[in-house]
């Protein structure tokens, strides 16, 4: 493997200017993401225990932060482009509608109870 085919696990920028093996302090020049991380490793696999296929590697808590793992082998396929599938689009729509992402603007009602009351028509005259 040569560094010219490596991409940042976070933004997809080329890492061809970085020497291999990646140092523990290596960072992406485009987004500043740490690169000596589990997400950048060919052993990273969310379907196995500790998300690592290397059987003797120590468990790492945060897979996106630099660590001291000596088994790290950079994975050219570590970067995964954004999911534009219909399910992901629908999920994002629901998060936007119900405020799941945390970056949606607050509604006119000041508290959740009044929001629910207005949603279900409580407090309105039925006559």
pTM value is 0.61
Distances from the Cα of 73 to the Cαs of 18, 70, 80, 83, 110, in angstroms? Answer: 14, 9, 17, 25, 51
Mean pLDDT of the chain: 82
The C-alpha atoms of residue 1 and residue 96 are separated, in whole angstroms, by 41
pLDDT at position 127 is 52
Q: What is the dihedral of CA 116, 119, 124, 126, to 10 degrees?
A: -120
Distances from the Cα of 100 to the Cαs of 39, 95, 108, in angstroms? Answer: 25, 4, 17
pLDDT at position 86 is 81
């Amino acid at each position: 493997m040569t560094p010219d085919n490596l991409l940042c696990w976070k933004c997809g920028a080329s890492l061809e200017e970085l020497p291999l093996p990646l140092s523990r302090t290596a960072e992406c020049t485009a987004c500043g993401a740490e690169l000596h991380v589990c997400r950048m490793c060919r052993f990273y696999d969310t379907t196995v225990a500790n998300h690592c296929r290397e059987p003797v590697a120590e468990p790492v808590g945060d897979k996106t932060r630099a660590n001291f793992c000596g088994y790290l082998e950079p994975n050219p396929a570590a970067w995964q482009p954004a999911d534009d599938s219909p399910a992901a689009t629908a999920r994002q729509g629901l998060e936007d509608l119900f405020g799941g992402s945390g970056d949606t603007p607050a509604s006119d009602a000041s508290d959740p109870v009044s929001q629910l009351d207005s949603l279900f028509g409580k407090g309105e005259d039925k006559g």
